[in-house]
Structure 1
Amino acid sequence: MGNEQIPQLPPTAAAPHRPAGPETSLFGTAHRWLLDRISALWALLTDRPVSLYAASVLRIGYGLLYLIFLLREFPHRAEIWGPDSPWTPALAAQLFDQTGWNSFLILSDSRAYFELCYVLALVTSALFTLGWRTRIMAVLFAVVVTSFHARAIFMTDGGDNLVLLMSLYLVLTACGRRWSLDARRERLRAAGAGNPPGPVRSAYTQQLRDARITLTTVVHNCAMFVIAAQVCVLYGSAGLYKVQGPTWGGGTALHYALNLELFQPWPALSHLVAEYPMAIAIVGYVTVLLQVAFPFVLFGRLKYPVLTVLLGMHIGIAVLMGLPLFSGAMIVADAVFLPDRFYTFLPHLWRRATRRTRVRQPAPGRAAGPGSVPSQGRPDASTAPDPKRRAAPALQKGTALTTGLAPDQS
């Protein structure tokens, strides 16, 4: 046994490469898809600021809306926010201790202080709308809206709740880069400077500058996504809340709303609309359907007719129920879902319409009507009419005057 020869085994051959099984292939595909989605999301957040025109529309819309709101309530400012309000500063301070709110309007009971605050609120809203020093004005506008909202939280119609949220979100956006005085100043500065060589920066300074630009872009994009999500949550929750009620399910909710005296700015118009119960029921069902489906139609072209119907719905609420601030706030919020190419197309459409209007207008000197008066100066030798043609028919003279041409040129 011990002297037996042990046979030599052949060298082990390399195991042939076996193709990956379906589980491995599926895992690799899912892994690559996930990495691609993460890369695309990161590029979307960091490459460039999105919806700059929509952010500018939000700035202009909410700034102008709040400016009009303050001007409309100017005769009643003392009864709503001032020293004559039944909700006194002492009561407001007690509420602030419980809720954590605050307002600069209760810092003093002086009427002069309140009038100064009101004027500053008007100026802030106007400058924010125009886009002057937008970064600073956005913060001041948010402080103004928050202070006025907290001061009279029980004396508003609910539309300022959305304005309050949007004013806080707009602080984080680059809402002054389009359609603003800041953008105009930058264009003039760039046009005046031409293309001068940029200052030589160190590598550390350039990295800080790039990091600041990236951070600003990310914050702006995240704020715009939060604004869009806020609107989706608002519509979706409103639609789901309506579905739970028996009046909306029965199609009678709008009928009851039209017959409430508190929401009848024009009673005759409300009673006229209430005479068509079938149309009211259809509008109610369409409203609930659009609000529930709103978050799911934003990724296709179906969102454009949905936004159009919602625009008509908000206009109807403003007119029939007397809630212009709420309707205006919702209409401006819907603008965040329109792409930038839509807003860049508007100036071209305006110029095209203006050009067509100019073409339709008659040219100067060739549109003299039958009642126009011919020139009364003495003609010179070059333009003197031929004596042989002085006896032109009256019809020819009338035609010449009508077309604006001299008789010898007809």
Structure 2
Amino acid sequence: MNPVRAWNRFWFAPISARPLGAYRIIFGVLVLAHLAFTWMDIDYWYTDAGLLRGNEARIVAGDLRYSPLQYVQDPIAVRLIVAGIAVVAALFTAGWRTRVMGVLLYLGQLSLYHRNMSSVCGPDTVRMLTSFYLMLSPCGAAYSLDARRAARRRGTAAEPLIVPWAQRLLQVQLALIYFATAAFKCHGATWLSGTAVHFVLFNAELRQLDMEWLASYPVLLCLFTYGALFVEFGLAFLLWFRPTRTWFALLGVGLHAGILPMVNVPLFGEQMVAVYLVFLAPDELASLLQVLDPRAWLRRRRQEWDALSARLDPAGALPGWRQLELSFESAETTAA
């Protein structure tokens, strides 16, 4: 295999736009959820009636982290700006003028990010990174109003294809986050000794629920600790390969679901799990959507009902409910 040709194919050979389009929708919903959480304490975090007042926000951010909210700090004006960002996020989610909305969404989130650096944590950093990559990508090529408009103009429905270099950057970023997290944990004695989860349970400042009762089962905590390391190292490498992708995606969902009650880090696990979508092949995404589609559940229930009706009346002359009613009447007559 020619390594140069393989490298170019990895970054630039056209692929389906559907996984990236599906991820755009989930990401937009998560951004809207973040803005909803922000709205609850907006005065404290982003106005001159809160934590940082006057030029304190500029001092904390430094000279290179500009934000208009460092100068516009009136509560009403800040609310209007955040509401505008929410409108942009909704249009981005729907896929209307996705390229323009992607840029505006990134700049809007960056203005919030730089306004109060004292509140920045992991979920904010992940959201800014993924927003940057989506701004560069053709994420509106599928599952969007832009794609629908393009299909109408073209006059035929075609499989949307994109050049994937921005999507590859998103994939590499996720792998680096998992690998760096697991590697840094291996520098700590508590993770290598299998006791790290014990200390997490007793961190009252970060925990969501009181789960100290798990400390009575040290073997279980040891399994949780080593299991987390195993899954994080695996996610860094094995999401790339189809035979292992499904299993490690499920393990990743389980990992973040297990973190959720232990550590209060809103919308972090949701963001990480959502990025798994960009690793999927089109047929894998179609299978996932079919599993999650409630119409498929109803269709299966109807098929089961039809099968039951056919057994009760092979000729199909009566409606299914009437067949079932007659069968009960026949059973009662026989018993009498």
- Show the counterpart of 2:232: 291
Which amino acid letter does the alignment assign opposite residue 357 of structure 1? Answer: R
TM-score by length of 2: 0.83
TM superposition score normalised by structure 1 = 0.69
Correspondence for 1:168: 132
Question: 2:207 aligned with 1:264, yes or no?
Answer: yes
Structure 2 equivalent of residue 320 of structure 1: 262
User: What amino acid sits opposite 1:76 in the alignment?
Assistant: D
Q: Secondary structure at the match of 1:262?
A: coil
Query: CA separation in 1, counterparts of 2:195 and 2:21?
Result: 39
Paired residues in the alignment total 314
Give matches, 1:306-385, under 5 Å. 306-349=248-291, 350=293, 352-361=296-305, 366-367=320-321
Q: Distance in 1 between the 2:322 and 2:67 partners? A: 64
Q: Is the CA contact (8 Å cut-off) linking 1:157 and 1:326 kept in structure 2?
A: no
Query: 44, 58, 74: which one pairs with 1:93?
Result: 58
> Gapped runs of 5+ residues in structure 2?
310-317
How big is the shift at 1:67?
0.6
Task: Tell me, yes or no, if structure 1 residue 238 matches structure 2 residue 189.
Answer: no
Aligned to 2:168: 225
Task: Give the whole-Å Cα distance in 2 for the aligned partners of 1:370 and 1:42.
Answer: 62
Q: Which moved more, 1:320-329 or 1:355-364?
A: 355-364
Q: What code does the residue aligned with 2:262 have?
A: L
2:201–2:262 Cα contact (<8 Å) kept: yes
In structure 1, what is the equivalent of residue 313 of structure 2? Answer: none
**Preserved CA contact (<8 Å) 1:55 1:336:** yes
Partner of 2:44: 79
Per-residue deviation at 1:61?
2.1
The 3 A distance-change label for structure 1 pair 303 and 95 is same
Equivalent residue number for residue 205 of structure 1? none
Is this contact kept in 1: 2:60–2:118, CA < 8 A?
no
Give 1:275's aligned residue. Answer: 216
Q: What amino acid is the match of 2:300?
A: R
**CA-to-partner distance for each residue in 1:37-79, whole Å, 9 max, x for gaps?**
323433454442x352222233122211121111123221111
Which residue number in structure 2 is paired with residue 119 of structure 1? 83
Match of residue 314 from structure 2: none
Change in 2 beyond 3 A, CA 1:279/1:356:
same
* Amino acid in structure 2 at the alignment position of 1:122: A
Q: Which amino acid aligns with 1:123?
A: V
Query: In the alignment, which residue of structure 1 is the partner of 2:20?
Result: 55
Residue by residue over 1:75-100, the C-alpha shift from the partner in whole angstroms, topping out at 9 and shown as x without a partner, is 211111123221224111223444x1
Query: 2:73 corresponds to which residue?
Result: 109
Q: 2:4 maps to what in 1?
A: 38
Contact 2:96–2:145 at 8 Å: present in 1 too? Answer: yes
Which segments of 5 or more consecutive residues in structure 1 lack a partner in the other structure? Answer: 1-32, 196-215, 372-395, 403-410
Tell me the distance in 2 between the aligned counterparts of 1:324 and 1:229.
Answer: 23
The structure having more radius of gyration, on CA atoms, is 1
Q: d(CA) in 2 for partners of 1:154 and 1:51?
A: 40
Which one is further off, 286-295 or 320-329?
Answer: 286-295
Q: Which protein is richer in helix relative to its size? A: 2
Q: Percent identity?
A: 25
For 1:51 and 1:255, locate their aligned partners in 2 and report how far apart those are by CA, in whole Å.
44
- Contact map agreement 1:57 1:332 (CA 8 A) in 2: no
Q: Which amino acid aligns with 1:57?
A: A
The 1-side partners of 2:173 and 2:204 are apart by 31
CA change 1:179–1:249 in 2 (3 A) is same
- RMSD of aligned residue pairs (Cα, Å): 2.8
1:161 to partner: Cα distance: 0.5
CA positional deviation for 1:133: 1.2
> Deviations 1:86-132 (Å, cap 9, x if unpaired)?
1224111223444x111122232333211210110111111111211
- Equivalent in 131, 142, 156 of residue 106 of structure 2: 142
Out of 66, 71, 93, the residue aligned to residue 31 of structure 2 is 66
